[in-house]
Structure 1
Amino acid sequence: MRFVQVSKQSRDFNRTASDASVTFTLPEGFKETVPVNSEELTYDYAIALPDHSVEIWFAVKPYKSITRIYTNPDSAYISLGKEQVSAFSADNAYFVRNLTDRILNQYNADVGKSYLLNLNDSPATKHYKYALIITLQKNKAGALMAVCLTNDKGPDFFKEIDKARNCIKFK
């Protein structure tokens, strides 16, 4: 029998994820890491590809907490994204798009957006240069955000984050 040690960060994240009807499975090749948390940036869990300059930080908000934080809980995913863009953006120029129905169906989400931006050079972002921020929401369940950080936003970055594509979704 093989025993797997589960970190406190992982246990807490899975509890919060469950409250938001979210499932998470650590993708093959990724390892748990520690996100940078500050007053304006709070994440529940982080993973990274060893020997690669890619990290993914996750924040999950159960519906109950969304209704306490946001005036319009149905657009919490928009607020989550805009808050991160505002905190991270080096030049306030970013590319944003609505996620297609095909992508939303993969995550069992009702709505979502993605943001691609240049980052401020900051310890808060571990001096990464670029971020792809993905926000998803399932009505009456919760919202989630994945912040994918890299120093190279070329095709290799998208291939590497694609390896984690199926690790998180709504039930």
Structure 2
Amino acid sequence: MHFNTIAQNKAKTRQPVVPDHQVVTFKKLAEDAGISFTMPDNFKSIKVINSENLSFDYAMTMPGHTFEILFNVQSVKPDWDNYEHNKNTPGRIVPNPDSSYLDASQAQAATLSAESKYFVRNVSPHILTQFNADAGKTYLVNLQDLPETHHYKYALIFALEKNRIGYFTAVCLTNDKGPEFYRTINQARSCIKFN
């Protein structure tokens, strides 16, 4: 009977779960870009990086691991309206909005990289299907020693795009690019995808 009383008292004093403001804000941004986001188990929000050279929409970590993921999401729908309106204007070159994810991810890789070269791969059709994406690239980068990236050594950048909808980048930071890094990424991989 004593244990039942303790359990009842604990249940009564439990506070309601308050939504994480960063997650709520990021989910709205993602939704506007045609992307769904679900906070993965065992992860928590951390302070978002916003500096002169680096800016992200959301950041999370897995407590107890030297690992962070930084996200950006972007809708290209407004850019498509502009593109359709101006693409046939004589003398005007208007880039296809679906390629803007390449510029964004290449800029991130160049800003983060300690070297002028980094490893780039196309995302396989199998992986694109899992994220409901049409195109994608990954970049493996040796990082500059920056306070904004908490002095991590490596980044794996995922850039995925859905035609006429939007794109997202996920920058995974670590000090060890061994098997544990990829296992941790796998624990978070289903948290974001296109609708």
TM-score by length of 1: 0.93
1:55 to 68, 71, 79: 68
Q: In structure 1, the residue corresponding to 2:30 is in which secondary structure? A: helix
Cα contact 2:80–2:164 (8 A) shared by 1: no
Which stretches in structure 1 are left out of the alignment for 5+ residues? none
Aligned length: 171
2:109 maps to 85
Q: Which has the higher strand share?
A: 1
- The structure with more radius of gyration: 2
Q: CA RMSD in A?
A: 2.0
Cα contact 1:116–1:131 (8 A) shared by 2: yes
Cα contact 1:66–1:76 (8 A) shared by 2: no
1:152 maps to 176
2:163 to 117, 139, 155: 139
Cα contact 2:46–2:60 (8 A) shared by 1: yes
TM-score by length of 2: 0.82
Q: In structure 2, the residue corresponding to 1:59 is in which secondary structure? A: strand
Name the structure, 1 or 2, with higher relative contact order (CA <8 Å, separation 6+). Answer: 1
Distance 1:95 1:19, change over 3 A: same
CA offset at residue 65 of structure 1? 5.6
1:113 maps to 137
The percentage of aligned residue pairs carrying the same residue is 49
Q: In structure 2, the residue corresponding to 1:80 is in which secondary structure? A: helix
Find runs of 4+ consecutive structure 1 residues off by over 4 angstroms. Answer: 65-68
Cα contact 1:66–1:142 (8 A) shared by 2: no
Which stretches in structure 2 are left out of the alignment for 5+ residues? 1-13, 84-94
1:37 maps to 50
